[in-house]
Structures are given as C-alpha cells and as structure tokens.
Chain A
Amino acid sequence: MLNIFKELVYSSGVVNLTAGNIFMWLIAFVLLYLAIKKQYEPLLLLPISFGILVVNLPLTFLMEPEHGLIWFFYHYGIEMDIIPPLIFLGLGAMIDFGPLIANPKTLLLGAGAQVGLYVTFFAALLFGFDLKEAASIGIIGGADGPTTIYLGSKLAPHMLGATAVSAYAYMALVPIIQPPIMRLLTSEQERKIDMGKMRPVSRLQKIIFPVLTAMIVMLLAPPSAPLIAMLMLGNLFRESGVVERLTNASSNELMNIVTIFQGLSVGATMTATVFLNPKVLFVFFLGLFAFTVSTATGLLMAKFMNLFLKNKINPLIGAAGVSAVPMAARCVHKVGSEANRRNYLLMHAMGPNVAGVIGTVAAAAIFLKNLG
C-alpha cells in the first residue's frame, strides 16, 4: 500500500516542481488576471497565459518534440509559418484601407514609426544581444503581434515567448503609453489642427489597392510575401464584395481558430528554464523602449512632413503609425479631441495605422533578408 502511494507521488509532477515553475505560474496568473479582469488583449493573453501555466506543470511533456500536443501546434503552426499568415488573412478581411487610400501620404507616417524599430535594434545590440535577437526585439516597436511572432520564430525562437507577450502587452497598454509622448512632442496649436473631411474612395480604388500593394511590396521585399500576400488576399475578399462567405470565414472562424493555436503555442514556449533568464526578461524593458521610440518617430515624421505640406496634417496621427489597429488610432482621436472638441481624427489616424501594418511587415522582411 505504501509502495503504491510512493510510486504515485514519485510519478506525479509534484516532486519535480521547481521554484522556477512556481514563478512562471505567478506570471500566468497575472496575465490571466489582466486578460479576464482588465480585458487587456484577452483573445491573445488568455490562451498565452494558459499555455504558460500548463507547460510549467512538470512531466506533462506538452512541448516535448515529436510527442507533446502543444509542440505539434507550435511546430506546424509557428515554426512552419502557417499561423501568422493566416492571422493576416483574417486581419486583411477586417481592415478598411479606405482612409489610407484617401490620403496616401500617410504611408510615409507608417514608415516613420518603423524608424523606432531600428533604433531599438541598435539599442539592443548595445545591451549585449546578438544581431538576430536585437532584430526580434526591435520588431516589437511595430506593435504587430503576428509579425513579431513571424520574425521571432525565425531569428530568435528562444525569446519568442518574451517578444510576443511583450508586443501584445504593450499593444494593450497603448492608451497609457502613447498619450504622454503625444503631448510631450506636440504643441497645443498642433494638436488643434483640423484635417477636415476625407476624400471619398470608390469601390474600384479599394479593389485595386490590395492588388497593387501586394505586387509592389513583394517585388521589393520578397521575404514579406507570406504575410503581405495573405493580408492583401483577405482585403481583396472584403473589397471585391463577391465572396462574402470567404470574407466571413477569414475574419471570424479561421481567425478565431488560429488565434487559439497561436496563443497557446506562444505561451508554451515560456518554460521556466528558457524564460527565467535576465537577458530574456530584459526584452520587456526594450519592448517598452521600442514602443515609445516608434510612437515618437511617427510623430516627428508627421511634423517633418508639415514643413513641406500646404494643407497641414495633425502631427498626432503620426503616432498611429505603429500598427496596434485600431487602438492607436482611437488614442490619437482622444488626445486630438481633448485639444479641439470638433476635431474628428479617428478616420485620419486609421490611414497611418493600417500603413503601419504594411510598414512593419516591410521592416521584418528587410531584417529577414539581412539576417535570416
């Protein structure tokens, strides 16, 4: 009887628990709290935090290569580049590029915000990260989860959990991080700039845009193909108006299914042995730096453009050049309307916001071309 009891205890995970496992549970509980109670990016943080929890239960072998259930999700979904492009398909089916088409100049604001990403790349190198690690940290500044995961899984898979969680956590914190930077870098007068009404965009223009963008971006940066192709296909589904079932499937069922696998797989990479390393934890600090600098460079790009433009743009919309669709645009609108009640910046900010998605993919493709 005693032997049976002993065997039961020794074959259980309890005796194999480490302090690291328990610490990771605490992280999982904090993320669960943020997802459920605070509703910070719950669609992602909830499966990520559950992934962290279950992978840190000893002897479950969920991430055991060739055997573990979540390992299969991770291997076929993330390592083999299936999930991030599928998320982009759904994203494309949900995004309205109309505000960007109405004001193509905002594409430059999407590029401006990416400068922060390269500044962070350089900063990470100064803090002792190697080139590939620095690139996967820098991309956090793009505030685009699937692109962060796509690049991270190729360049620094050992830091994937930290970079992905960092990206999603800071995306959720956009309303807290961005406004002080916006107020610091713009004057009251600039924040009051009224951009008026947007020009109307026809259906034909909306149909041509994804086709043209896919061709240009993929010709100039071929490594961007998986993400840009799927993003623009999803958008073409939406704008063509003839495949409503495919649009709905991409933006609802498919998107929801792959989101589950993505979250769980990313969370499961955060085992105590990999994650509890000062270098990996430092990623969170650099992620915040990336986000801050990208916001600032987007704003400064808008101010720079105003030196040459006859019809001035409100520089606040430059801050939406980080992706984080649509939270960054909403944040711009809120800060703008505080300065001028009649200022309706939401749609104007959506232009650089969706340009930021394209810009981040282009930046990731250039990183891959140089370091992949």
Chain B
Amino acid sequence: MIDWSKAMEVFGSGIIGVYLIMGLLMVLTQIGLKVVDYIEAWNKRPAPEQAQ
C-alpha cells in the first residue's frame, strides 16, 4: 500500500529542494564571480608611479 501523503511530500520537497539548491548556487556563483572580477581588476590597475 503506497503512502500517498509521503509520496506527495517526496515529490514536492524534491522539486522545491533541487530548485533551491541550484538557485542558491547560481546566486552565490554570480556574487563570487563579481568579487573575483573586482579583485582581478584591482590587481591589474597600474601602479601609481606607472600611471604618472
């Protein structure tokens, strides 16, 4: 006998859970990339004496 309430729980929590994990990973990856871009741009900036 199938426990349909458990089945619905697995179904719903599965779909929401996967989107939650991947969505959060997407947001944090984008933030991480922006931070790295900023750090790399900072490191590439010309030194003050070279700029003069």
Q: When the two chains form the complex, which single residue of B14, B26, B30 contacts A363, counting CB atoms closer than 8 Å?
A: B14
Main secondary structure of the interface of B (DSSP, over half): helix
Please name all residues of chain B whose beta carbon is closer than 8 Å to the beta carbon of A205 when the two chains form the complex. 32-33, 36
Q: Please count the residue pairs between chain A and chain B whose beta carbons lie under 8 angstroms apart in the complex.
A: 104
| Chain B 1-39: CB-based contact to A (< 8 A → 1; otherwise 0) | 011001101110111011111111110111011001001
Please name all residues of chain B whose beta carbon is closer than 8 Å to the beta carbon of A125 when the two chains form the complex. 2, 7
Q: Is the CB of B32 within 8 A of A110?
A: no
Q: A107-B26, A359-B18, A366-B18 are in contact. Are A122 and B11 (CB under 8 A)?
A: yes
| Chain A 97-126: CB-based contact to B (< 8 A → 1; otherwise 0) | 000010011011011001101100110010
Q: A258 to B42, alpha carbons, bound, how many Å?
A: 45
Q: A118-B15, A121-B14 are in contact. Are A108 and B7 (CB under 8 A)?
A: no
Q: A216 to B7, alpha carbons, bound, how many Å?
A: 26
- A212 nearest in chain B by CB position: B32
Q: Is B40 an interface position by the 8 A CB rule?
A: yes
Q: Is the CB of A216 within 8 A of B21?
A: yes
B47 smallest CB distance to A (angstroms): 21
- A128 nearest in chain B by CB position: B2
What's the interface size class on B, roughly? 20 to 34
Please name all residues of chain A whose beta carbon is closer than 8 Å to the beta carbon of B26 when the two chains form the complex. 104-105, 107-108
Q: A107-B29, A125-B2, A212-B28 are in contact. Are A370 and B13 (CB under 8 A)?
A: yes
- A361 nearest in chain B by CB position: B21
22 residue pairs from A and B, CB less than 8 Å apart = A101-B29, A104-B25, A107-B26, A107-B29, A108-B19, A110-B22, A111-B18, A111-B19, A114-B18, A115-B15, A118-B11, A118-B15, A122-B7, A204-B36, A208-B32, A212-B32, A216-B28, A358-B25, A359-B22, A366-B13, A367-B14, A370-B6
